């Protein structure tokens, strides 16, 4: 969330600076971008974490469902 806020602040201030806005407008846009960027990164992070948990659970279920195969050591057959 902090990373999203930092990215939002930098992005918002750069966009406002390129538009040659006044300082007060620049800071207002940067603050709004901070809130939006933090919220978006938090939302995306939770979405990613949930999908990661689901993937790990599916992997564990798949491992549990597979039957354990016994390994046999091949023996050499004698040719006579």
pLDDT tens digits, the chain, 80 residues: what are they?
Answer: 788 888 888 988 898 889 898 999 999 988 899 999 999 999 999 999 999 999 999 988 888 876 666 667 777 765 55
Cα gap 54→73, rounded to integer Å: 37
Reference 44, options 9, 4, 7; nearest CA is: 4
pTM: predicted TM-score of the whole model, two decimal places: 0.62
């Amino acid at each position: 969330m902090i990373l999203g806020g930092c990215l939002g602040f930098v992005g918002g201030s750069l966009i406002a600076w390129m538009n040659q806005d006044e300082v007060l407008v620049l800071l207002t846009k940067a603050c709004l971008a901070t809130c939006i960027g933090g919220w978006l990164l938090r939302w995306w992070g939770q979405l990613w974490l949930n999908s990661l948990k689901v993937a790990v659970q599916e992997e564990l279920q798949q491992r549990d469902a597979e039957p354990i195969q016994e390994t046999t050591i091949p023996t050499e057959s004698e040719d006579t």
